Structure 1
Amino acid sequence: MPPHVLLLGGPGSGKGTQCEQLATKYGAVHISTGDLYRAEVKSGSPEGLIMADIMAKGALVPDELGTQRVLKKRLEQPDCAENGWIGDGWAREEANSVTLLKYGIVNTSTLVISLEVPRATLIKRLAGRRYDPEDGSIYHVDYKMPSDPAIVARLVQRDDDTPAAVNTRLDVYEKQKETALTPLRQVNVQVTEVDGTGTTAEVAERINQVWKEHFDKLSKAEPDFQ
């Protein structure tokens, strides 16, 4: 069975980096709603224009626009059915979780991981992030900058990483987190909390252990459960 994994965490928790590594290791498709929505904005579509204003303020894209339309359409593509997917921050509010369950995207065989990182750490990570508008790469002024001066010169701070937007994003995340997880827990979807502090390698080791335990358990389950 192709893996279906949902990795949650606050802005700056490192879930994007971890999803990329998991996708490389296990061959599943890494799907970030943030990337999907930014691509929609870049396309200049009517939906993208609405999203641009919302995201610049650090607010959440409405479920009926984001999850039910943009994300659902992406999951219907063949690569997701064949290889499985790793969801990067999909369930940010209750409506997202309800939609994921309604359409059968998430169920009791889905591995759901919540990265836990203190707010002060998240603020520091986000404030130092820089974005390459040409290839979409993310860097950080304190510990991950490109060696090429030409790349450094074109790096920008995203609108949603400015101090005001960061605090708004974290306020929204903290307010919505538990209500977003409640629908999953109510139908016995297990949510595993993983310590998201430390080095990338340390966090990856914790996640991979959870991954192994989950899918080992599924492989031993009855066929009709899978």
Structure 2
Amino acid sequence: MSLNLILMGLPGAGKGTQAQFIVDKYHVPHISTGDMFRDAISNSTPLGVKAKSFTDKGDLVPDEVTNGIVKERLAQDDTKPGFLLDGYPRTLEQADALSQMTKDLDKPLTAVINIDVDPKLLTERLSGRFICKNCGATYHKLYHMPKVPGTCDVCGGHEFYQREDDKPEAVKNRLKVNVKMNTPLIAYYKDRNLLFNVDGSKDIDEVWQDVDKILSTL
């Protein structure tokens, strides 16, 4: 039986790491919206050309184009053992479209894994990053401080800065937008008995053990 999954989680929840673990163990392709768009555009598929006409202008790609690109991707041969969707669906309309296309392709969803982390903790995780002004080495207030306080390990510089989108206010705002987007989707999949919540505040390996436990019973 194929393993057809959606991976959800807020920025900083560790989705990328868990996606890699899932791919390595269960041999399903990791399908992220960014990669799908890039492939469709670089291969100049009819939908890729359409998507490019929007992205070139900095506009959002409309749902029918996005849905079409996803359906084309899910119809490819490498999804026979299953797939791992990441970054799609983003709206209830897209979730409905996905439900229809998985029915058409006879590849119904097996589960939706939501890596759940308190936004407060994510704010600390995401806004802790700072960078050496001289050489660009990256540090983190929680996980990776310079060995000598105030001195870069790499070049010995003493000046550090924080990128605008790593500043706490920007991070809080980004998380707020994502919570608003994810909440209806979580309810949608919960209603359909497809949702599995995993505590993402644990150690990476423990999170993986929890994810693997769920997947191995499906």
Normalising by structure 2, we get a TM-score of 0.68
Please give the residue correspondences for 1:5-20 in structure 2 after superposition, counting only pairs within 5 Å: 5-20=5-20
Q: Deviations along 1:121-166, whole A, 9 cap, x unmatched?
A: 3234444679xxxxxxxx974358xxxx8xxxxxxx999x555764
- Is 1:173 paired with 2:178? yes
- Is 1:96 paired with 2:98? no
Pair 1:30–1:117, CA change in 2 (3 A): same
Pair 1:86–1:169, CA change in 2 (3 A): same
Code of the residue aligned with 1:73 in structure 2: it is E
Pair 1:109–1:50, CA change in 2 (3 A): closer
Partner of 1:77: 76
Partner of 1:135: none
Q: Secondary structure at the match of 1:104?
A: helix
Contact 1:108 1:190 in 2 (8 A): no
Give how far 1:79 is off: 0.5
Contact 1:16 1:32 in 2 (8 A): no
Q: Deviations along 1:33-73, whole A, 9 cap, x unmatched?
A: 2333456678895524634735xxxxx7643232x122222
Partner of 2:148: none
Q: Secondary structure at the match of 1:174?
A: helix
Give how far 1:194 is off: 0.7
Partner of 1:220: none
Please give the residue correspondences for 1:97-112 in structure 2 after superposition, counting only pairs within 5 Å: 97-104=95-102, 110-112=110-112
What's the RMSD between the two structures over aligned residues?
A: 3.6
Gaps spanning 5+ residues in structure 2: where? 131-136, 145-153, 155-161
| Identical amino acids, percent of aligned pairs | 32
Distance 1:89 1:31 in 2: 9
Q: Secondary structure at the match of 2:13?
A: coil
Pair 1:50–1:211, CA change in 2 (3 A): same
Gaps spanning 5+ residues in structure 1: where? 55-59, 131-138, 150-156, 216-226
Q: Secondary structure at the match of 1:4?
A: strand
Code of the residue aligned with 2:73 in structure 1: it is R
Distance 2:201 2:90 in 1: 20
Pair 1:125–1:74, CA change in 2 (3 A): farther
Distance 2:20 2:186 in 1: 23
Please give the residue correspondences for 1:186-201 in structure 2 after superposition, counting only pairs within 5 Å: 186=191, 188-201=192-205
Distance 1:140 1:77 in 2: 39
Normalising by structure 1, we get a TM-score of 0.66
Partner of 1:209: 213
Contact 2:4 2:108 in 1 (8 A): no
Contact 2:50 2:65 in 1 (8 A): no
Contact 1:40 1:48 in 2 (8 A): no
- Is 1:122 paired with 2:127? no
